[in-house]
Amino acid sequence: MSSSSSPTDLAADPQTDVSPKLEEPLFAELPTFELFFKTFGFKRVHGRVWGLLVLSKGPLSSKEIAKELSISAGATSATLNELAEWGAITSQFDSSRRCHLHTAVGNALSIVATVFRRREQVVFQQFNQTAQRALHFITERHGERDPRVLTLRSIITTCEIGDALMQLVFSAVQNAMSDSESVLSRAIHAALKVGVGVPARMFGAGFAAHAAAANNPSLNGKRDG
């Protein structure tokens, strides 16, 4: 999201609707985006708005998004702000249209990394805090020799180590991705260019050969020999 954007800016949208409607076959795919986002703990509207931005021909204003998805201006603005906070969209002011236009971030890996980092960090912190509260209660009531103390201290230490390792891994991944010359960055970009066509053909060919062998005993005999 651009540094000049703010929640107030995102809601400002005085221009008329100039964006074409999303084609019906593409619009029908939006529920899948909703389900995907809901699986990760988001609201369905987050997936619906992000899916619309992914499938649209170009950037959309908040007014266009609200009209296309039949949601209120307030819900649209709040959703856009939340998606921007999670690094899922970018927003830039268009001087000709006098409003902010929103685009889905193309690097889906960075979105997933951000979501996992923040959400896993919350899980570790909550578990750590729960164990610490329980430890404090037990030691005050029953003393340090209570057998539960050792287990709770182990949980606390594990959470702290897990959180530190998670931060280290995600920081390394993000640093590597931001460096276009890094091995990881080049490998991922190469994989994205190739797509799933090559693996699909490889698996398809392997499956075809296996099926042919299964249906032809003579082939099995040759292979065994």
CA 162/CA 124 separation, integer angstroms: 8
Q: Is residue 71 part of a domain?
A: yes
Q: Is residue 2 part of a domain?
A: no
Q: Is the confidence at residue 16, as pLDDT, over 60?
A: no
**pLDDT tens-digit series, residues 135-171:** 999 999 999 999 999 999 999 998 888 878 777 776 7
Q: What is the pLDDT of residue 181?
A: 64
Q: What is the pLDDT of residue 173?
A: 63
Question: Is 102 in contact with 80 (CB distance < 8 Å)?
Answer: yes
Question: Is 4 in contact with 94 (CB distance < 8 Å)?
Answer: no
The answer to which of 5-19, 55-69, 99-113 has the lowest mean pLDDT is 5-19
Q: What is the pLDDT of residue 177?
A: 58
Q: Is the confidence at residue 216, as pLDDT, over 80?
A: no
Could you tell me which residues come within 8 angstroms of residue 132 by beta carbon, excluding any fewer than 6 positions away? 152, 156
Question: Is 50 in contact with 9 (CB distance < 8 Å)?
Answer: no
127: region left, alpha or beta (phi > 0 left; psi from -120 to 50 alpha): alpha
Q: Is residue 1 part of a domain?
A: no
Range of the domain at 92: 7-106
For residues 17-26, give the mean pLDDT: 71
Per DSSP, the three-state class of 13 is coil
Q: Is residue 143 part of a domain?
A: yes
- Asked if residue 87 and residue 13 are part of one domain, the reply reads yes
Question: Is 15 in contact with 61 (CB distance < 8 Å)?
Answer: yes
CA 103/CA 99 separation, integer angstroms: 13
**pLDDT tens-digit series, residues 189-199:** 665 555 544 44
Q: What is the pLDDT of residue 149?
A: 93
**Amino acid, single-letter form, for residue 40:** F
Fill in the DSSP letter of residue 23.
P
201: region left, alpha or beta (phi > 0 left; psi from -120 to 50 alpha): alpha
Q: Which two tokens stand for residue 94?
A: 């268009």
- Asked if residue 179 and residue 95 are part of one domain, the reply reads no
Question: How many domains does the chain divide into?
Answer: 3
- Asked if residue 73 and residue 39 are part of one domain, the reply reads yes
Residue 131 pLDDT grade (very low, low, confident, very high; cuts 50, 70, 90): very high
Per DSSP, the three-state class of 215 is helix
For residues 47-57, give the mean pLDDT: 91
**pLDDT tens-digit series, residues 63-101:** 999 999 999 999 999 999 999 988 889 999 988 888 999
Q: What is the pLDDT of residue 207?
A: 42
- Asked if residue 102 and residue 128 are part of one domain, the reply reads no
- Asked if residue 201 and residue 162 are part of one domain, the reply reads no
- Asked if residue 86 and residue 143 are part of one domain, the reply reads no
pTM of the model: 0.54
**pLDDT tens-digit series, residues 119-128:** 777 778 888 9
Q: What is the pLDDT of residue 124?
A: 82
What sign has the CA pseudo-torsion 103, 106, 110, 113? positive
- Asked if residue 98 and residue 13 are part of one domain, the reply reads yes
